[in-house]
């Protein structure tokens, strides 16, 4: 959510930002908020003036009573009574206007960075840099589900019977590899100075509304029937909610945390759920990183965070590239974002494995997360998040890039301690 001062002082900037995101249907909201805000402030001033008048009249009544001027005191009391009847009406109207303003402000997108490329959707995202040489081996790379099946490592048929489409059983060495990658990623981030955390896997609706846009909520989140709880789509949601309505000290910042969680997503939209593979599914596990920091430090942290993703994937012998997200591909709360995409030798193209975002103060403003500066002033923190690894999808990149011609899979040196010292996993005979 943006600062309402932007609408008061520079409506055209806010409208131009909406146009850059190709959300012209939201343009009327800016003028609506502007006009509602004028009405709200006028009403608030009127109510404040009446409260001040009531306080003055109450003192006057005391003096009149002291001077035995009973009739005059009673007349003033009648006026105070009228004021007391008027103030609650004004307060109700204030609350209504405040809610209408907030409802619209929650839909107006965050201001994006000046250097974000302008484009309608992810097809117009811009490749910025590659890391590692993408290799296409001389032998054929099977579909990732077939590689897993060759190790008796994937059972989607049984999962379909147990839970439906979009779920899976991982078995044996593939399941172990999945856990090894998560544990390695956890230790990788701890070594970077991040605090490890296992958060709640369900959060309340007010926390959901604080961390994401309404459209994302509708397309992603599973609601627990009969309770004010949602299954998280990523641990970022509950990690940021940890600091809801808190006033932090400037010395507390930055807060850097890495978290493990299962993630649950409806995956509503054009992409759909895969029938065979595990690229787009309803349930997966992930290691995440989040940062809460001073406003002037968020861009520095953004650079650090996406670089951590590159470093981790390269340590596992996976070539990657950085793709800058265009304006139309940015969720409403994002100031800027980039995807880290892994190389697929089978498809001979890159696919998304990490997403790094700087949300500036938009998320913190919705969640009420502020810090107290040394001079006593209070400001909203900046929040950032990035995927460390999401192994079901990351497994695809890992298996394809480490597959040997004999069908075995090489285990990179950094991962061997998490795989019982194994250098290879081999097909079951």
Mean pLDDT score, 240-261: 96
Question: Residue 323 burial by CB count (10 A; 0-12/13-18/19+): exposed, middle or buried?
Answer: buried
Q: What pLDDT score was predicted for residue 275?
A: 60
Note whether 255 and 231 are within 8 A (CB).
no
What integer pLDDT is reported at residue 218 of this predicted model?
78
Q: Which of 108-112, 285-289, 304-308, 390-394 has the lowest mean pLDDT?
A: 390-394
Instruction: Residue 109: name the closest of 25, 220, 217, 1 by CA.
Output: 1
Q: Tens of pLDDT along 16-48?
A: 999 999 999 999 999 999 999 999 999 999 999
The arithmetic mean of pLDDT across residues 207-226, rounded, is 85
**3-class SS shares of the chain: helix, strand, coil, % to 5:** 50, 20, 30
Question: How does pLDDT run across 361-377, given as a tens digit for each residue?
Answer: 999 999 999 999 989 99
Residue at token pair 């619209």 = 104
Say yes or no to pLDDT of 132 above 70: yes
Torsion of CA 72, 73, 75, 76, to 10 degrees: 120
Instruction: Please give the average per-residue pLDDT across 103-116, as a whole number.
Output: 96
pLDDT at position 273 over 60 = no
Confidence band for 420, pLDDT divided at 50, 70 and 90:
very high
Average pLDDT over every residue of 155-182: 93
pLDDT tens by residue, 56-78: 888 888 888 888 888 888 888 88
- Architecture of domain 4-105 in this structure: Orthogonal Bundle (1.10)
What percentage of the chain exceeds 90 in pLDDT? 79
Q: Quick one: pLDDT band at residue 272, thresholds 50, 70, 90?
A: low
**The pLDDT value given to residue 271:** 57
**CATH dotted code for 122-425:** 3.30.930.10
pLDDT at residue 168 is higher than 80: yes
**Cα distance between residue 326 and residue 153, in whole Å:** 37
Query: Domain limits of the chain?
Result: 4-105, 122-425
The pLDDT value recorded for residue 274 is: 57
């Amino acid at each position: 959510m943006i600062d309402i001062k932007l609408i008061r002082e520079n409506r055209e900037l806010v409208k131009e930002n909406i146009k850059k995101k190709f959300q012209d249907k939201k343009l009327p909201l800016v003028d609506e908020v502007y006009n509602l805000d004028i009405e709200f402030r006028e009403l608030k001033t009127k109510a404040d003036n009446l409260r001040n008048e009531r306080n003055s009249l109450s003192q006057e009544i005391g003096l009149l009573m002291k001077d035995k001027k009973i009739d005059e005191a009673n007349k003033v009391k009648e006026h105070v009574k009228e004021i007391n009847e008027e103030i609650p009406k004004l307060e109700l109207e204030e609350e209504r206007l405040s809610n209408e303003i907030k409802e619209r402000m929650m839909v107006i997108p965050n201001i994006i960075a000046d250097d974000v490329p302008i484009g309608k959707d992810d097809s117009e995202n811009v490749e910025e840099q590659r890391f590692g040489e993408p290799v296409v081996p001389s032998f054929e790379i099977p579909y990732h589900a077939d590689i897993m099946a060759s190790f008796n490592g994937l059972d989607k048929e049984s999962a379909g019977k147990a839970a439906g489409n979009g779920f899976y059983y991982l078995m044996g060495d593939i399941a172990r590899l999945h856990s090894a990658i998560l544990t390695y990623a956890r230790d990788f981030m701890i070594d970077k100075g991040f605090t490890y955390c296992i958060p709640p896997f369900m959060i309340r609706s007010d926390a959901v509304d604080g961390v994401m846009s309404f459209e994302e909520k509708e397309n992603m989140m599973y609601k627990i029937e009969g309770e004010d709880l949602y299954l998280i789509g990523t641990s970022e949601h509950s990690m940021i909610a940890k600091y809801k309505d808190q006033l932090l000290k400037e010395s507390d910042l930055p807060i850097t945390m890495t978290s493990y969680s299962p993630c649950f997503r409806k995956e509503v939209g054009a992409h759909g759920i895969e029938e065979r593979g595990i690229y787009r599914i309803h349930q997966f596990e992930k290691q995440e990183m989040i940062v809460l920091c001073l406003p002037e430090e968020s861009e520095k942290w953004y650079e650090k965070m996406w670089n951590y993703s590159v470093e981790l994937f390269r340590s596992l012998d996976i070539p990657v590239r950085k793709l800058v997200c265009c304006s139309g591909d940015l969720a409403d709360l994002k100031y800027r974002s980039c995807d880290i995409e892994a190389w697929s030798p089978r498809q001979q193209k890159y696919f998304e494995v990490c997403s790094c975002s700087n949300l500036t103060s938009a998320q913190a403003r919705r969640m009420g997360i502020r810090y107290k500066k040394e001079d006593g002033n209070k400001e909203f923190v900046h929040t950032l998040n990035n995927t460390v690894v999401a192994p079901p999808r990351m497994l695809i990149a890992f298996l394809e890039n480490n597959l040997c011609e004999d069908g075995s899979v090489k285990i990179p040196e950094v991962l061997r301690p998490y795989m019982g010292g194994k250098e290879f996993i081999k097909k079951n005979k």
